[in-house]
Structure 1
Amino acid sequence: MTRTLEWKINMEMLEEEGTTEARAVLDTGTSKLTGHGQARCNPEDEDVPLIGDELAASRAMSDLARQLMRLAYKDIGEAGAGMSGEQEEETPYGWSTPNR
């Protein structure tokens, strides 16, 4: 069965007084997840807004990825293929992770 989906992520960033905050929102149609990230410019460093944007956005995306992984593990468990107590959350089930 072939299936095509498109999920869009809305990224919002706010920079104020050397701090950049990012919010990444993913709506899958069945779930809505929000990741948060923040970056602060060291007062001794040159203020380069692009660096703050990149750091805050990447941290928001990383937070979003962790939430999506937890949701996938929850769904796997509900489908009857859950993890045993001895296995860590990072162990893939059913769907392999490349280069692991």
Structure 2
Amino acid sequence: MPHTGEWKVRLHLFEDGGTTKARAVIDTGTRELTGHGVAHRNPADTDVPEIGDELAAGRAMQDLGRQLVEIAERDIEGTGATGPGPRPAVGWPA
């Protein structure tokens, strides 16, 4: 059965005094999740805001990914799905 979907992600970045914070919000249509990430610049390093943005945003997206995988794993368990041996840590069995 074919299925298509589109999930919207909003990424908010805040920088203050060498610390960049990111908040990533995903709307799946049935729920909204928020991931958080932080990056700290060493005071001795050159101030390159894009690097802080990349690190904080990447960490916020990793947080969202972790949450989505945890939800999927609970949903899989809720269906009563079982398989031979342990289930892979991420994704569906091949």
| Superposition TM-score, scaled by structure 1 size | 0.84
**Partner of residue 3, structure 2:** 3
**Partner of residue 23, structure 1:** 23
Contact 1:73–1:82 (CA<8 Å) still a contact in 2?
no
**Partner of residue 40, structure 1:** 40
Distance 2:76 2:29 in 1: 18
Name the % identity: 53
Report runs of 4+ in structure 1 exceeding 6 Å deviation.
none
Distance 1:74 1:57 in 2: 26
Structure 1 residue ranges without an equivalent (≥5): none
Once the two structures are superposed, what CA deviation does each residue of 1:10-52 show, in whole Å capped at 9, x if it has no partner? Answer: 0001000100000000111112110000001000100100000
Distance 2:32 2:82 in 1: 23
**Partner of residue 54, structure 1:** 54
Once the two structures are superposed, what CA deviation does each residue of 1:63-95 show, in whole Å capped at 9, x if it has no partner? Answer: 000000000001101111168xx847715444x
Structure 2 residue ranges without an equivalent (≥5): none
